[in-house]
Homo-oligomer: A and B are copies of this chain.
Amino acid sequence: MKLKVKILGLEAEKPVVVINKSDAEEIDVRPLDRVDMTTGRRKGTAIVNVATHFIRPGEIGLYSEIADHMKAANNETIDVLPSNPPSSLIHIREKLAGKPLDEKGMRKIVEDAVARKLSDIEMTAFVTALYNHGMTTTEVAALSKSMAFTGKTLDLGKKEIFDKHSIGGVPGDKTSMMLVPIIGAAGLTIPKTSSRAITSPAGTADRFECLAPVDLKLEEIKAVVKKVNACLVWGGAVDLAPADDLFIKIEYPLSIDPLLLPSVMSKKKAVGAKYLVIDIPTGEGTKIKSTKEAEVLAEKFIALGKSLGIKTVGASTFGEQPIGHAIGPALEAREALSTLMDGKGPADVVDKVTNVAGMLLDFKLRKGGKQEALRILKTGKAYKKLREIIEAQGGNPDIKPDDLALGAKRIELKSSVSGVVSWIDNRAIVEVARAAGTPKDRGSGIYIHKKMGDSVKKGDTLLEIYAEKEYKLERALKITKEVRVMGIGKKVDMLLEKIPRMVEHPKYFILER
């Protein structure tokens, strides 16, 4: 059927066309069916929406994505025919029915997802089927590989790529920002790609962007890493494992995460990682509640790593309170920068980063990695490497913590009682920080003055909230009155119940196969 193009100027993030109901009936397609389109120059496939008024019979409305792909112009004639359903639909239905998929089926699904050939309904059916039926080891590996190889890959022509990933869940975790310079300073290659915050107050990309540009293209990343053997960039600017973002869009509203392992490992595979440490923040208020649970997850990462040719270790780290004092992009960047400059900083920050970096160094040193990481930090070698990375990515290497602007609206929360901090609620901290404007308002966030185990006198400042806008500060303040952010216990209570937790240092274990 020949239809006249009407460019809609609307974005759908997938190829969508709108045709009139009568034309849809004429070629026997229903909403969400697909049509094949042909002009003299181009071919394409799109998902059909049906309109009764907005698009007249004989017209076809094109969303931006498909209009660009077809290089279509207004009033041009385009040939439209019903298309066969994407072949991956058969495999989605198989998985939905509980049948494990082979590598070919898995790959076809990922290819069609990346080509935006699948509707939200089909994508959701796939993601919920994975959630319901789980995946065999073979399936996880096939999915990870498919996700890695349907996008671009970073080829650094070196064999020894080191990498690190945190499954997240603890606020204020600026580990990567400090670990990368340490590993780089040790002479190892670590092309670190990171995400921006989705539901947290800051992602590594948001933090590091306070120091240097992070949205580098693949060729630029290559150049940076060749020069200084490390980088800290935003993964979203490059097309590494692009299927991941599409699956996350489905998982997020449903609060399910069946693709956690392939999501992480496909990106690592795409940058050519050979050695990897997975940080698993553990404890109440994080995603993983116990070291037992962390161990199970780590073993899965290790097994998957093995089938992908990535030597993997897992670290279960203490996550029941924020890492360090600072939460929010600029605040965290300040804390990380001054720790690297001074060679010292908050005890938990230094302990965590040297432990996790040490596990990576141990791949080469066999042991003593933590001490070596600490030495690199203390001697200023890590800071030197940080300056190199900042400069290579186009930032100013002389940047100082005070150069990073904080929100001008500020309020201090003071304690109304004396005692000892017995707990800090990660989720409440995140909620307050988001209300204050994180991650968008870079200078907003929270500075925690008192952490678990710290003594508090009545009137002491417990935390400060920073915001760039007055209404956001008020919004954040309102939340601190609705949810409890921290608990102050009597000393005697603490001694009885809380000391094991208070004096507990971050716990690590190494799993290796």
Digit string of A81-120 for contact with B (CB within 8 Å is 1, else 0)?
A: 0000100010011001010000000000000000000011
Shortest CB distance A15–B (Å): 15
Interface membership of A26, Cβ < 8 A: yes
Decide if A53 touches B11 in the complex (CB within 8 Å): yes
Interface residues of A in 253-300 (CB under 8 A from B): 253-256
The answer for the CA separation of A129 and B127 in the assembled complex, in Å, is 11
Interface residue from B18, B25, B122 paired with A254 (Cβ < 8 Å): B122
Q: Output the nearest chain B residue to A255 by Cβ-Cβ distance.
A: B93
Given the known interface contacts A54-B11, A124-B121, A128-B124, the answer about A249 and B32 at a Cβ–Cβ threshold of 8 Å is yes
Decide if A10 touches B8 in the complex (CB within 8 Å): yes
Question: Could you say which residues of chain B place their CB within 8 Å of the CB of A8?
Answer: 10
Interface membership of A307, Cβ < 8 A: no
Question: Could you say which residues of chain B place their CB within 8 Å of the CB of A26?
Answer: 440
Given the known interface contacts A129-B128, A131-B96, the answer about A121 and B440 at a Cβ–Cβ threshold of 8 Å is no
Question: Could you say which residues of chain B place their CB within 8 Å of the CB of A440?
Answer: 25-26, 28
Question: Could you say which residues of chain B place their CB within 8 Å of the CB of A394?
Answer: none
Decide if B93 touches A249 in the complex (CB within 8 Å): no
Question: Could you say which residues of chain B place their CB within 8 Å of the CB of A479?
Answer: none
Interface membership of A132, Cβ < 8 A: yes
Digit string of A292-314 for contact with B (CB within 8 Å is 1, else 0)?
A: 00000000000000000000000
Interface membership of A509, Cβ < 8 A: no
Decide if A28 touches B253 in the complex (CB within 8 Å): no
The answer for the CA separation of A85 and B51 in the assembled complex, in Å, is 28
Interface residue from B30, B49, B64 paired with A252 (Cβ < 8 Å): B30
The answer for the CA separation of A198 and B49 in the assembled complex, in Å, is 16
Given the known interface contacts A8-B10, A26-B440, A131-B96, the answer about A253 and B52 at a Cβ–Cβ threshold of 8 Å is no
The answer for the CA separation of A32 and B92 in the assembled complex, in Å, is 23
Digit string of A194-217 for contact with B (CB within 8 Å is 1, else 0)?
A: 000010000000000000000000
- Which of A8, A249, A254, A440 has the most C-beta atoms of chain B within 10 angstroms of its own C-beta? A254
Question: Could you say which residues of chain B place their CB within 8 Å of the CB of A12?
Answer: 49
Interface membership of A250, Cβ < 8 A: yes
Given the known interface contacts A26-B440, A54-B64, A440-B26, the answer about A253 and B122 at a Cβ–Cβ threshold of 8 Å is yes
Interface residue from B9, B85, B253 paired with A32 (Cβ < 8 Å): B253
Shortest CB distance A233–B (Å): 20
Decide if A254 touches B121 in the complex (CB within 8 Å): yes
Q: Output the nearest chain B residue to A199 by Cβ-Cβ distance.
A: B30
Question: Could you say which residues of chain B place their CB within 8 Å of the CB of A92?
Answer: 254
The answer for the CA separation of A49 and B8 in the assembled complex, in Å, is 15
Q: Output the nearest chain B residue to A98 by Cβ-Cβ distance.
A: B132
Question: Could you say which residues of chain B place their CB within 8 Å of the CB of A9?
Answer: 53-54
Interface membership of A31, Cβ < 8 A: yes
Interface residue from B61, B93, B133, B250 paired with A121 (Cβ < 8 Å): B250
Shortest CB distance A429–B (Å): 16
Q: Output the nearest chain B residue to A85 by Cβ-Cβ distance.
A: B253
Interface residues of A in 451-473 (CB under 8 A from B): none
The answer for the CA separation of A103 and B13 in the assembled complex, in Å, is 37
Interface membership of A125, Cβ < 8 A: yes
Q: Output the nearest chain B residue to A10 by Cβ-Cβ distance.
A: B54
Question: Could you say which residues of chain B place their CB within 8 Å of the CB of A498?
Answer: none
Given the known interface contacts A28-B434, A249-B31, the answer about A11 and B254 at a Cβ–Cβ threshold of 8 Å is no
Question: Could you say which residues of chain B place their CB within 8 Å of the CB of A119?
Answer: 120, 253
Decide if B10 touches A18 in the complex (CB within 8 Å): yes
- Which of A18, A93, A120, A124 has the most C-beta atoms of chain B within 10 angstroms of its own C-beta? A124
Question: Could you say which residues of chain B place their CB within 8 Å of the CB of A53?
Answer: 9, 11, 64
Decide if A11 touches B434 in the complex (CB within 8 Å): no
Question: Could you say which residues of chain B place their CB within 8 Å of the CB of A121?
Answer: 120, 123-124, 250, 253-254
Decide if B54 touches A96 in the complex (CB within 8 Å): no
Interface residues of A in 49-96 (CB under 8 A from B): 49-54, 61, 64, 85, 89, 92-93, 96
Interface residues of A in 1-56 (CB under 8 A from B): 8-13, 18, 25-26, 28, 30-33, 49-54
Shortest CB distance A440–B (Å): 5
Q: Output the nearest chain B residue to A469 by Cβ-Cβ distance.
A: B26
Question: Could you say which residues of chain B place their CB within 8 Å of the CB of A28?
Answer: 434, 440
A to B CB contacts below 8 Å, 8 in the list: A8-B10, A10-B51, A11-B49, A54-B64, A93-B255, A120-B120, A120-B124, A124-B124
A-B contacts besides A11-B53, A92-B254, A129-B132, 16 pairs, CB < 8 Å: A11-B49, A11-B50, A11-B51, A25-B440, A28-B434, A30-B252, A89-B253, A93-B254, A96-B254, A96-B256, A119-B253, A121-B124, A121-B253, A122-B254, A125-B128, A128-B129
